[in-house]
Every structure is written in structure tokens, then in C-alpha cells.
Structure 1
Amino acid sequence: MIEVQSSLENKEIKLSHLEQKIKPLGYVIGGGWEYDHGYFDYKMVDEGEYLFVRLPFSAVDGDLDTKGVTVRLGRPFLLSHQYEDGLDHTNEEDPNPLFNQFAAPENPDATFPYEHINVGKEYVRELEQVILQNLDMN
């Protein structure tokens, strides 16, 4: 994991406005969200490992599932997930083969490749431009 200093840190924005701004860029809410915090992820690379730009956020005035909730942005970071070879690791004895068909991360916090760091930082700069544009109007 590589943290990227950003002018986004501690900025507050309505979650719905944040989604409207960054989902068109390809960001999705990561699956590990809780009621008080979560992450937007952008998958940079999908070749034997997944490289992500991750933007953390936390609820300021309610739970994330509350209509109109405001979130505070955290420090973006670059993250690498390395996956096992092969996508299917089911067997006949698996009681839940449809649910368990995808490979688990071999290394959920793998070293982020040096050659992709500057590209990841550029994605963070793009996030800054898109999110901070007209932020006071939201």
C-alpha cells in the first residue's frame, strides 16, 4: 500500500454528489464498506494482480445508507491484490459452489509495482480535479 498525499483529505461532500462525480470515471464502492466508512476503488490493472486507486471515506452525519449523508474523504492510496492462479477452485464436496467459485487473494496487500506508482498518482490528481471542482456548491 502506498499513501498519496492529496488535497482531498478531510474534505466533506454528500455521498450522492461524490458518486455522481467519480462513478463516470470508473470508480465503484468497494465491497468492504461498513455503515460508518467505505472505499471507492478504481481498478488500474488486471493482469495477474489487481492494482487499485482507493479513496477512503467516512460518514459525518449518519450511516452511509442514510439519504443525504455527508462523508469525509481520507488519504487516497494505491493498493495491489495478487490472486491465485485459476479462477475456479470449486469441488464436488463444496456445499456452496456458486458462492465459492472465485479465487481468494493470495496476497491482499502485495507490493505495489514501482512502474505503476506515477500512473496511480495521476489518477489521484484526476480525482482531485473532478471532486474539488464546484465542491462549495454541493
Structure 2
Amino acid sequence: MVPLDSEIEDKIYSLYVLEEKLKPEGFVIGSNWDYEKGFFDLKIDNKGIYYFLRIPFYAVAGSLDYPGVTVRLEKPFLLAHQYEKGYDEEGIGGALRGSIDQFQSPTDPDANVPDEYINIGKKLMQKVENLILPLY
């Protein structure tokens, strides 16, 4: 995990407004959210290691399942997950294989993030800042 300094940290926004700005850029709300906190995730690459830009947030007014919830953004970071490599020797491809692999735990949930991806992450955060800081 590589923390990224950003001016969005500690800013408060409507979750709905953030979704309208970030989802068209490829961000999704990660599946590991609960009623108090969540993450905007952007997959940067998946060449054997999945690199993500992650922007954590937590509810300050309402809960995440409530329309109109307001959230505070936390320090963004880059995250790398390395999954087990292999191929389908048995010929069990397609949807069946995908339904199994989606629940596979990373072999290295905190893999090293090379400088190349740190630079990409910084540029992506500049773009995010340009999108949402004027809304603050």
C-alpha cells in the first residue's frame, strides 16, 4: 500500500455527487463497504498483479445505504494484489471458472507497487482533484 497526498483528504461531499463525477472515470464503489465506510476503486492494471487507486470514505451524516448520505474522504492510496497464476488445464473455462476465481484470495494482498504505478496514481489523483475540488 502506498499512501498518496491529496487535497481531497478530509473534504466532505454528497456521496451521490461523488458517484456522478467518479463513476464515468471508471471508479466503482468496492464491494467491501459497510454502512459507515467504503472505497472508490479504480483498477489501473491487471497484468498478473492488480493495481488499484483507492479512495476511502466514511459517512458523516446518514449511512451509506441511505439516500443523501454525506461522506468525508480519507487519504487515497495505491494497492496491489497478486493472485495465483495458472491456466485452465482441465478445460473448465468461461463462466464456471470466473465464478470460482472471483472469490480467490490474493497470494500477496500487499504486493510492491513499482514507481511507474505510483506516478500513474499521482496523475490520476490530480485528475480526481480537478473533478471534485471545485465542488467543495
**Which contiguous aligned blocks of 4+ residues in structure 1 show a shift greater than 3 angstroms?**
97-100
Q: Which runs of 5+ in 1 are unaligned?
A: 89-96
Shift of 1:100: 6.1
Superposition RMSD in Å:
2.0
In 2, distance between residues paired with 1:104 and 1:110?
13
Please identify which structure carries the higher helix content. Answer: 2
Is 1:117 the counterpart of 2:115 in the alignment? no
What is aligned with 1:72? 72
Shift of 1:125: 0.8
Shift of 1:132: 1.2
What is aligned with 1:32? 32
Shift of 1:87: 6.8
Q: Which runs of 5+ in 2 are unaligned?
A: 89-95
TM-score (norm 1): 0.86
Aligned residue for 1:41, secondary structure, equals strand
What is aligned with 1:104? 105
Aligned residue for 1:125, secondary structure, equals helix
Percent of aligned positions with the same letter in both sequences? 48
Q: Deviations over 1:8-41 (max 9, x none)?
A: 0111100000000000000000111111000000
Shift of 1:99: 8.8
What is aligned with 1:93? none
What is aligned with 2:91? none
In 2, distance between residues paired with 1:25 and 1:120?
14
In 2, distance between residues paired with 1:81 and 1:116?
13
In 2, distance between residues paired with 1:99 and 1:123?
29
Shift of 1:104: 2.3
Q: Which amino acid aligns with 1:2?
A: V
Aligned residues: 129
Conserved 8 A contact 2:62-2:68: no
